[in-house]
Every structure is written in structure tokens, then in C-alpha cells.
Chains A and B, each alone.
Chain A
Amino acid sequence: MVAIANSRQAILDRLKSIPIEQPPAPVVDPQRLVRYDDPLAKFTEVLSFVGGQVHVVERPQQVSEILGQFPAFRDAQQVASSAPEILTGNIDLNKVADPHLLAYLDWAIIPGRFAVAENGAIWVRPTGPIERAMLFLTQHLVIVVPKTELIEHMHEAYRRLGQDGVGTSGPEFGIFISGPSKTADIEQSLVIGAHGCRTLQVFLIDDSSGPAVATDGGDGLAGTTPDRPVAGDSAGRI
């Protein structure tokens, strides 16, 4: 183990012994990024393409009405919810001490922070290890997102994660989920329902009169890292 104890320094020394001059990568220029005329249509199209289902509803109560149309939901033995204002499950997550106890979970419902039009992904940040385990152990997953929280692309997504201080405040787990789990490892045949959820239902809840799309608002992607030039900007700064 002595060799291993020295490895850190040996690796760093070796890397430092060969200095390489390289300017920082330019900041992404928001002007060059795709814009969608209808982000909701794009989101719906992409999430359907990857095997998920999108429901736009006006009232939270509609969620259980729509889910009730699925036989798999009606027959569910175990339902867990971390969005009790929308749907109550029959498992009290606060009383689950060990994630293994969720092994037979049929349905789970969780709020998502925002949805991304370009790739049908939803950012989900479970509040603790049990909620996190629920996401992957459940047979069917439901994510509810306010319809106002629909953004265009991943640049905007990571700008928001930066604003939320991801990784700066302490340990945490967050995930983009786009569709149900899947595999094509056998002869490139797509099979939905690999290890994680077999189906994904996404509800966009339109219970406000606010704007349909959370836009960049001009404060944009640039300027997050002022020491880096913007691509194509000869002044090197915004």
C-alpha cells in the first residue's frame, strides 16, 4: 500500500511536469442555440419518442383521474407519493427506514423541478435516500411538473442548476430522467422496462396564468464565468 500512498503525488507531479498552454474554453453564446416556437409541442414529441407519456392538465385532481384509467394503477398494491397534495399513496415514506423495503413498489409519484423541451428530460431532486431509491425501484413512475417550468435546452437547465447552487451547499443527488428505463442490448431491439421503471407518466400542471415558458430573461448563459471569453466575441467579454 506504500506505492498507492504515493500515487496521488506521483500522478500530479507527472501532470505538472508538462505544462500545456491552452486558453479557457469560450462561454457558450446563447445566440447560437436552438429556439423552439412551441416548446411544449417539442417536449411532448421527444418524450413520446423515448417512450414516456405527457399529460397537460389544468387541475392537480386530474392526475389521479387520468392515472385511474390505467389498469396497472388500479391494480397497484403499493403506491408511494412524495407529492401528497396531488396524490396520496398507501406507503408512508417517512416510516421507510431501509430502501430495500421498497422492493415491491408498484407506483411512485414525485415532483420534478423543471422539464427540458429539447430532450424530454425532467430534473428531479429527491429529498432523501428513500425518495431516491423509490425512483428506481418502482415499476411505474409519475413525475409532476408545473407547466410554467418548461425550458428549452440543457444550457438553460444547467444555468438553473448553477443558480440553485448544486454541489455548493452540501451532499445531494439530482437526476435528469427522460422516459422509462430501456435497453437495446439484445440485437438492437428496443425493450422498455430494463431495470428501472416500466412506464413514465409526466404531468404538466397548468394551474397558473403565468407565461407558458420560463425564458432566459436576458440574463442568460453568459456571464456565469466572467474569466472566460464568449465565442466569436473579439472583446472576449460580455
Chain B
Amino acid sequence: MRPQPVHLHYSTATQSEYGLRFGPADADRIILIVPPLFDEMNRTRRMVAEAMRGLAKRDVASLLPDLPGCNESTAALSSQSIESWRRAVSDVATQLGATHVVSIRGGGLLDDAAGLPMWRLAPVKGASLLKTLLRARIAADKEAGIVTTAEQLIIEGQHDGLDLAGHAIGPAMLMDLEKAHPVASDEITEATLTDVAGTALWLRSEPGESPEMSAALAGYIDRWSASCGR
């Protein structure tokens, strides 16, 4: 049978956010998945949810939280920052009983906030995510006949925030992204796409899926989480 999710809540800052949970209620292992950020989050959501179903079939539970300002969240994205998202990761891990953390791409900027054993797939620096978002804005401006530069946009954004590829990036998020990088630690296992038979779904201009990658990811996370932590 195809595993079905339950919707849970966690609270962070002053609001309540949703989280998706798959797997047995009494599972020994509960994997918190910290997803890629911005566009990459949307492009990989189905692949991640399918990997969570794969874990559920192996009796491993997993959680996929909405970060404040994303998906079903009622909080404004423009008031978020890497700091507020790190608090959310720490809050959801504690409140929903996570035992391990898996992060993908920009999720690697947040994962260590949970203070649990970590597995990272293809981490990326905040500056690199920001650069891509700025480029999308510059390219869209150019099509509209407006000439902008990254430097100009950053200066403007430090006061008023920016709309980058449809994402309302506030001044705090802008400043955090410029300097955020995945924190190095002995508690991290890092994996590349070739380890999980993967394709870079997060790069795709149209969201896609990869059953092979979801299955490989589930297998890899199962073996890794069995070997460490609680």
C-alpha cells in the first residue's frame, strides 16, 4: 500500500507551521528533512515526498516541515531570514521528536541548528543561491527593457528588500544569504548525486521527478541512519 502522510504542526516564533510526516507512529528513527530553498524547494518536493514514502516502507519515519513563509505558512517570506529558518529547524526537531537530519542543497545552511546527526546532499553556499536569484531578476528586467546590476539590486535590497524570481527577499534574508555557508562538523556525512543515482532535479526549469533517485535516497538514508544516532 502506498504510504499516506499525516499533517502535523509545530510552533516557531509566534506562529504555527505545518509539517508532513510519513512512517509508523512508533518508529525508532524519525528523519527530519530540511529541503532545498526557494525555487529548488518546489522543484524537488515530489522527489523528496517519494523518498519519504520509501523510508516509510522500511519502517523509518520522516518529517518535512514548511519553513516559515513557504508552502502553507501564513508568515510573510519577506520577514524571514536564514536565522529564523534555523530556529524553525531547531523547533521542529525538538517538538516532533526528530532523531536524525537530512538536508538537500540550501537545507545545508540550516541543518546543524537541530543538533542531531546529519546527512547532506549536494550542499550549496548562500551566496551561490543568491547569485542565481539575482541573475533571474536581471534577466527578467532585461527582457522588460530595464538594465539592472547585482550591485545595484543588493544596495536597494538592503533597505527595502527585493523581489527575486517571485520570492520576497527581505533585508535580513539578503544579508544572511550573502554570508551563509554549510557548517562543517564531524557529525556530517556528505553525499553527492552519483551516490544516490541522482539527477539535479533542483536545477530543472520545470519540476520533475525521479523514482530511481527517490528509491536510492531512501535506501541510503535508511542505511546511514541505522549506523548512527539513537
A and B part of one assembly: no
